[in-house]
Amino acid sequence: MQPSKDISRLIEIMAALRTPGTGCPWDLEQDFASIAPYTLEEAYEVADAIERKDMDDLRDELGDLLLQVVFHSRMAEELGEFAFGDVVEAITKKMIRRHPHVFGPEAARGARLAKGMWDRIKAEEKAERRQLRVERGLEPEDYGKGFLDGIPPALPALVRALKLQQKAAQVGFDWKEAEPVLAKIDEEFGELREAVESGDRDAVTNEFGDVLFALVNYGRHLDIDPEAALRQTNEKFRSRFHTVEQRLNEAGTSLDAATLAEMETLWQQAKKAS
């Protein structure tokens, strides 16, 4: 089998890998739950390639992410649920429907996107999905769920915190400006200190989470993506620490042999240089 730019070749490869008897034993063992962590990992690797502005790596990582979509689609097809083509049809239908100002009648295309149109269209789609599940004898996907329960629990914690806050803000549960959030952060830090002093590990964990949640809220009011900000800081830390390591090596020593004072001095130098 030869590589190809045609998506059908990738679908053929996945089908071959999942064919009992002749396929790949590892691929045949997988299910949606076992593959999900790889899907998340590939999405992060795409984000990493973008951050590094590495177009060659981005091409490869997008391919890895696409493979995840094909993998999940193949498993669903084996269960008689849907195939890759149905996934493509669903997203094209959704994009056309959500952009009437681009794909709709000429009058709609000539008008600016009305405020709230996107949310109204999404609400219509949700109602249709709900009705479809009822017709299939299934419980509606939002059955027994609250207003915030549509935010997927599997999201990275910082991302989910941001989305929970954004959705709550839609119904007015929010500060109107950033300043009061700083007071809330101070309050949460005070409660964290009290928990630390009490020695109650569960309380410390709980209050630490509250501090993080409040910081995400403050960042939201400053229009800062907390996940992107932390990724940037992580990379900054890695880069500076690598500089410390290099300087120690140049001096004929190592991280293990260096004292904290020596590393701190080199860290400050790396900080000034970056």
Whether residue 12 is found in the same domain as residue 86: yes
- Top-confidence residue, 106 or 265: 265
Whether residue 91 is found in the same domain as residue 164: no
Report pLDDT for 9. 97
**Is the dihedral angle over the CA atoms 58, 62, 63, 68 positive or is it negative?**
positive
Q: Is residue 72 part of a domain?
A: yes
The residue range of the domain holding 171 is 157-224
For residue 44, pLDDT beyond 70: yes
Q: What is the pLDDT of residues 145-202, one digit of tens each?
A: 788 888 888 788 999 999 999 999 999 999 999 999 999 999 999 999 999 999 999 9
Q: What is the pLDDT of residues 45-85, one digit of tens each?
A: 998 899 889 999 999 999 999 999 999 999 999 999 999 99
For residue 205, pLDDT beyond 70: yes
Q: Is residue 8 part of a domain?
A: yes
Q: Is residue 84 part of a domain?
A: yes
Report pLDDT for 110. 53
In CATH, what number is assigned to the domain containing residue 200? Answer: 1.10.287.1080
Report pLDDT for 138. 73
The single-letter code of the amino acid at 187 is: E
Whether residue 2 is found in the same domain as residue 94: yes
Q: What is the value of pTM for the model shown?
A: 0.64
Q: Is residue 168 part of a domain?
A: yes
77, 19 contact by CB (below 8 A)? no
Whether residue 120 is found in the same domain as residue 60: no
**Is the dihedral angle over the CA atoms 149, 150, 156, 159 positive or is it negative?**
negative
Report pLDDT for 106. 63
68, 38 contact by CB (below 8 A)? yes
- pLDDT band (50, 70, 90) for residue 133: confident
**Is the dihedral angle over the CA atoms 46, 10, 87, 20 positive or is it negative?**
negative
Indicate the DSSP class of residue 114: P
Whether residue 25 is found in the same domain as residue 81: yes
Whether residue 110 is found in the same domain as residue 161: no
Whether residue 118 is found in the same domain as residue 199: no
Q: Give the whole-angstrom CA distance, residue 61 versus residue 46.
A: 5
For residue 21, pLDDT beyond 60: yes
Q: Give the whole-angstrom CA distance, residue 119 versus residue 98.
A: 9
Whether residue 122 is found in the same domain as residue 80: no
Number of domains in the chain: 4
Q: Give the whole-angstrom CA distance, residue 60 versus residue 52.
A: 14
For residue 173, what are its two tokens?
């549960």
Mean pLDDT of the chain: 90
Q: Is residue 151 part of a domain?
A: no
Whether residue 43 is found in the same domain as residue 135: no
Q: Is residue 35 part of a domain?
A: yes
Report pLDDT for 78. 97
118, 98 contact by CB (below 8 A)? yes
Q: Is residue 150 part of a domain?
A: no
Whether residue 138 is found in the same domain as residue 180: no
Whether residue 201 is found in the same domain as residue 250: no
Q: What is the pLDDT of residues 226-247, one digit of tens each?
A: 988 998 999 999 999 999 999 9
Report pLDDT for 46. 93
Report pLDDT for 48. 85
Q: Is residue 241 part of a domain?
A: yes
In this prediction, residues 260-272 reach a mean pLDDT of 95
